[in-house]
Homo-oligomer: A and B are copies of this chain.
Amino acid sequence: MQDAAPPRPYHHGDLRSALLSAAEAELAERGMEAFSLRSVAKRAGVSHAAPAHHFGDAQGLLTALAAEGFRQFLAAQSAREAVAESDPASQLVAAGMGYIDFAMARPTLFRLMWQSNRPDFDIPDLGKAARAAFHHLVDQVAKAGGETTADEAAVWALAHGLADLLASNRLRGVGALDPAARDEMLAGIIRRALPGA
């Protein structure tokens, strides 16, 4: 992770992952639109053209970052499911909570993944990771007894809407609650979209 204190080694050692970390940090600090490839390189302590060898261009870097994001997004859902009751409805709500957890913890990365057209979803690595991530919630709907397209859309849209509004800090009445109370309220809301609730 941390490279040596003396003048920077010519060969970084693990520049690829260092650039990904630097890119996410830059995104979080300066925002999606002010993102600059040269700033990322500077933050990683490397010349402005170094990223090219690992990612091709800026889109390549953001594509790789988004793919990594989708994998961690799926992990956030799984983490919630692991500590929830095992019945299908509880698992579905847990997946939705993980969806929201991720959006609140890393709002700019969430935006890169969902609202930006800079990542290239035709790159197989990202395409696969993205589909796996946002199909997971929909799959849970079927296990919980959902049968129609409307059931899938309702649960997904509700979780996504909560996540997006919370990530941009527009649901102040909810975001200001302490975590436990917030969790309970959000779980109650997600349950409204459940089939037969």
Residues of A within 8 A of B (CB): 31-33, 111, 114-118, 134, 149-150, 152-154, 156-162, 164-165, 168, 170-171, 173-174, 185, 188-189, 192-193
A157 in complex: contacting residue of B114, B118, B149, B162, CB < 8 Å: B162
CB pair A157–B161 under 8 Å, yes or no, is: yes
CB pair A162–B171 under 8 Å, yes or no, is: no
Interface of A is mostly: helix
A153 in complex: contacting residue of B117, B150, B174, CB < 8 Å: B174
Collect the chain B residues with CB atoms within 8 Å of residue A153's CB: 162, 165, 171, 173-174, 185, 189
Collect the chain B residues with CB atoms within 8 Å of residue A193's CB: 158, 189, 192-193
